Amino acid sequence: MRKFLTVYICLILCLLTGCRKTPAWADHAKTELTVAFIDVGKGDCIVIAGGDHVIMIDCGYEDTVKAVKADLSDLRIDHIDEMIITHYDKDHYGGAAGLLHTYPAKTVYIPDYLPEGEKYEDVMEDLEDSGANLVRVREQIKIAFPIGEQEAELTILPSFVSYDAAEKNDNDMSLVEALHYGADSFLFTGDIERESIEAFIPVAEHYDILKFPHHGDWKKNTESLLEKIDPKEVIITDGDDRPVEEKTEAYLTEAAIPYYTTKENGSIVVFCTGSGTYEVVCGK
């Protein structure tokens, strides 16, 4: 009886969240774009795959490498062409060494600032040891790749503010990425906070799917950002130790914007064909 009740509750939760789980995430056509938000707790690891091209935005923690590899295996991804480190916090770069050892990326894009301390020295040593070409993002960089007869394009935006060593504003130095594939669009915002959000709003446009800034934290200008972007759906990369803020959930619920969190939904994979419609598949 208890086992039946557990299965029933899981089915109800899947219906409520609007996502489903499939035995093999990768049972999809090569003409589709796959965007996976891998569950690494309160951290980021996002994988973009289309055709034969794979881009990873951030790579979770050092101790989540095994979990990331398992999800990549389920997605039948066996290589990484480019890796992007949005900023130098351990929940974004920690898994770099372990993942690059297994999936040697040709190029690693990093933000153009020089924080002090061992963590920066360590990540730079890991990246240099990987043999990848390191590119500091000082201006917009575009990565285009074919998917079937269409083309997807990822734009990497440089940091919107200057680094302040006294303020230690690493989060606001996050690189932001915009992805377009036909009528489909995504925005990945790293951990940008109030200052970078303020600088980004004037140039922001509509995106269908938004990776919510800084694991679901609410800032005074977050509402203005959401109004400008007007997303169809929102993905939040949170964890048990730091769940999405209640104010964020309340706003998204009131605004009738569907949202998914890695804390509640596990790894979240979005499949699209460039037509403006999406299939969202959850890991739990």
For residue 49 the two structure tokens come to 């795959």
Which residues, 6 or more positions from 76, have their beta carbon under 8 angstroms from its beta carbon? 24, 26
The confidence score (pLDDT) of residue 4 equals 39
The confidence score (pLDDT) of residue 42 equals 97
The confidence score (pLDDT) of residue 89 equals 93
Please report the domains of the chain, with CATH numbers, ordered by start residue: 22-282 (3.60.15.10)
What is the rounded average pLDDT of the residues 59-86?
Answer: 96
Kindly list the distances between the CA atom of residue 169 and the CA atoms of 115, 160, 194, in Å, as whole numbers in the listed order: 10, 12, 11
Pairing of strands 141-147, 133-137: unpaired
Task: Give the tens place of pLDDT for each residue, 3-38.
Answer: 334 334 344 444 444 565 544 565 666 669 999 999
- Predicted TM-score (pTM) of the model is 0.91
| Surface-to-core class of residue 127, CB atoms within 10 Å of its CB (0-12 exposed, 13-18 middle, 19+ buried) | buried
Task: Give the tens place of pLDDT for each residue, 215-272.
Answer: 999 999 999 999 999 999 999 999 999 999 999 999 999 999 999 999 999 999 999 9
CA pair distance 48, 56, nearest whole angstrom: 6
The confidence score (pLDDT) of residue 248 equals 98
